[in-house]
Amino acid sequence: MKQLKELNKSSAVDGFSAGLADDSDPFRWTVTIVGPYDTPYEGGLFRAELVFPRDYPVMPPRLRFLPPIPWHPNVYGTGEVCISILHPPGEDPHGYEMAGERWSPVHTVESILLSVISMLSSPNDESPANIDAAKEWRDDHEAYKRRVRRIVRQTLEDA
């Protein structure tokens, strides 16, 4: 709750808004992220759910787009975001990430949301959640941008 109050006080942060999904549950938030300027996602309105575990801030929350963003290298088909800072702390069992890139209790909701905005601007195609989107991002960037622009238009029609 403290982080939500701080987040809502801060007028310096653009590109997202957040609030409780249900006033009786401080562990489930609704988030809206505005697609970042000068990216294929520019102007889109992407809704997401941020769910905090009971042992937060020791363990990271989960962020899931609702409805799922259907075409991004770092978003699973379920809408769940796959970025390093949302992975549990410690060593990566697969060796893709250094421990310092993973979750740490010093992260805040603001740093998570800024990381997601950065992910929209610069996908990581090295360890993708959506292999087909990553392949198109690498091999046919213009086709990727056209597809994403259609998705952005849909988010505005659904808003």
Determine the pLDDT at residue 10: 58
**Tokens standing for residue 64:** 């899931």
Which member of 81, 82, 109, 152 is catalytic?
82
Determine the pLDDT at residue 139: 97
* Residue 82: active-site member: yes
For tokens 């990581």, name the residue.
124
Which whole-number Å values give the CA distances from 34 to 41, 54, 69, 143, 156, in the listed order? 8, 28, 13, 22, 11
| Residue 72 three-state SS | coil
Reported pTM = 0.88
Q: What is the pLDDT of residues 83-127, one digit of tens each?
A: 999 999 988 888 788 888 999 999 999 899 999 999 999 999 988
Determine the pLDDT at residue 94: 81
Which has the closest alpha carbon to 120: 11, 10, 29, 16? 16
Residues of the chain short of pLDDT 50, as ranges, are 11-12
What are the two backbone dihedrals, phi and then psi, of residue 75, each rounded to the nearest 5 degrees?
Answer: -130, 125
2-158 placed in CATH 3.40.640.10? no
Determine the pLDDT at residue 8: 64
Which whole-number Å values give the CA distances from 16 to 7, 9, 92, 131, in the listed order? 10, 13, 29, 27
